[in-house]
Structure 1
Amino acid sequence: MSQCKLPDYSSIPEEALKIISKTRTIVLVGASPKEERPSHQVMKYLLENGFKVVPVNPGQKEILGQKCYPSISDIPEKEPVDTVIIFRRADMVLPVVEEALSRGIKNIWLQEGIVNEEAQKLAHQNGARFVMNLCFKKAHQLAL
């Protein structure tokens, strides 16, 4: 894992723009019911902007009116998923990426401040798009 630098939002990477343009249903890993948490704020923004959000948090039943699942593998297979956004520490990311790939999710996004090159390599080896250290909400706002 490398040192995490603040992202440059003056130029959104092409990979990120492709994910944003193709995403309608998002699994949000690390969703929080606490309003002050970035994951809560991003989830609220996504819902307000027409995305379907499936929160993942093993300690919650529901967040922002959406049924919460303990893990990605607990989400019913019939639920289509375009993208997973991960709000977890960098050292906790790899198992989440492995689970997302096994579910067939082809767009993986690590939020601002989260960098994991091993997870990136695994995602690319499995044909998935991968973005790290970038806020989906901020990138979406700039892409509009």
Structure 2
Amino acid sequence: MSELRIVRVHDEVTLLDWQRVHNEIVPTAHLSVDEVRERTGRHVLEVAYDGEVLVGCSTVRPPSEETSAVTVIARILPAYRRQGFGETLYQHCLQQAEGAIVETHILASNVDGVRFAEKHGFAEVETYLLPGDTVPFVEMRLG
């Protein structure tokens, strides 16, 4: 693995790269460009590159009225998994949580993502289905 370059979404290129990774990893919850743009005002959205090659993206959501936890989501495209990119991106995101309670949300069909979270000490809190979806999400909390 070469050095992973992590860049905050700041222009159309990084916004479209973030959207591409998100929509490939979470096909049941596709986001439009406008929805991604709106999220940049509420969350920290970043993209990860191996050199110039897009390998993943991440989301860090601050605590909200619904939860006191910081939500950390690291997504790595399937072709780039098991190369250390997920670990690097996850650790980067975890630093932004600043010692808060940390949770993550993973599409249940993303077996690699669930396995990665469990390996890093996350335990399932709840499984939920969004309206109109057929594949549930797994909410996990770092224990």
Q: What is the TM-score when the length of structure 2 is the normalising length?
A: 0.34
Higher share in strand: 2
Q: What is the TM-score when the length of structure 1 is the normalising length?
A: 0.34
Question: Quick one: higher RCO (CA 8 Å, sep 6+), 1 or 2?
Answer: 1
